């Protein structure tokens, strides 16, 4: 975990690939636990530390995650996510080159503990994303993704259905893993309104090694 920003209300971090955002059945150390430990150590907080999880990022993905340091901040951040006033931009390396250089994917997703799949309209949750091609060499492409909805594995599932699975994403059709066993999906830029000052803040993920493209474009 790398801390990108911290004050009395927010903790913004970079989540590396391979760790869950919160504790799961694996027993592996999670982002939330690491964040609480950082606050306890760096801010010299005795006793239990509050840290509110307000959004998620798939375990094999990496990128910017914001956490609320107070219950009020967490509630206000959660409201921003519900109201779609937080802007989340992803950079994703995929196999192949989309036929169109930009477009909108509109599907219906059904999800369970194994993942998500596209179903007939009206039978699942409406799922919409916008994409544009940032770079390509024909065999692989770097896409920028703007999510209009936030469904489980939405980016991974919709791009795979388009015929362009995310690099390293064996669950959704990638032919081989990446060396680090993660996937080439980065929560690259996050823009939010500070829960108390109302200032508009933007956070960018740091450099990512091992991709065929620089995700910064």
Tens digits of residue pLDDT in 151-163: 999 999 999 999 9
- Classify 212 as helix, strand or coil: coil
Domains of the chain: 2-204 (3.30.2350.10)
Residue % of the chain over a pLDDT of 70: 95
Q: Is the pLDDT of residue 47 over 70?
A: yes
Q: State the DSSP code for 171.
A: G
Whole-angstrom distance, CA of residue 94 vs CA of residue 162: 11
Predicted TM-score (pTM) of the model is 0.92
Mean pLDDT in residue range 34-39:
96
| Dihedral over alpha carbons 119, 91, 81, 7 (to 10 degrees) | 150
What per-residue confidence (pLDDT) applies to 183? 95
What per-residue confidence (pLDDT) applies to 217? 61
What per-residue confidence (pLDDT) applies to 210? 62
Helices (H), the chain: 31-42, 71-83, 154-161
Mean pLDDT in residue range 25-54:
91
pLDDT in tens, 90-144: 999 999 999 999 999 999 999 998 899 999 998 999 999 999 999 999 999 999 9
**Cβ(165)–Cβ(172) below 8 Å:** yes
């Amino acid at each position: 975990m790398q801390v990108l920003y911290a004050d009395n209300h927010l903790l913004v971090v970079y989540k590396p690939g391979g760790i869950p955002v919160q504790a799961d059945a694996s027993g592996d150390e999670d982002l939330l636990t690491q964040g609480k430990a950082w606050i306890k150590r760096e801010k010299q907080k005795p006793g239990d530390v509050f840290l509110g999880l307000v959004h998620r990022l798939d375990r094999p993905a990496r990128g910017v995650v914001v956490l609320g340091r107070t219950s009020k901040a967490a509630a206000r951040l959660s409201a921003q996510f519900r109201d779609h006033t937080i802007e989340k931009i992803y950079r994703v390396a995929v196999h192949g080159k989309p036929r169109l250089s930009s477009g909108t994917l509109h599907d219906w997703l059904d999800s369970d503990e194994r993942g998500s799949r596209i179903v007939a309209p009206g039978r699942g949750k409406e799922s919409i994303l916008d994409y544009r091609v940032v770079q390509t060499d024909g065999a692989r492409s770097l896409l920028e993704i703007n999510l209009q909805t936030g469904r489980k594995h939405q980016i991974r599932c919709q791009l795979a259905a388009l015929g362009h699975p995310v690099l390293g994403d064996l669950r959704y059709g990638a032919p081989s893993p990446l060396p680090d066993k993660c996937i080439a999906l980065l929560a690259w830029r996050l823009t939010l309104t500070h829960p108390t000052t109302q200032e508009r803040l933007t956070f960018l993920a740091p450099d990512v090694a091992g991709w065929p493209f620089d995700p910064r474009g």
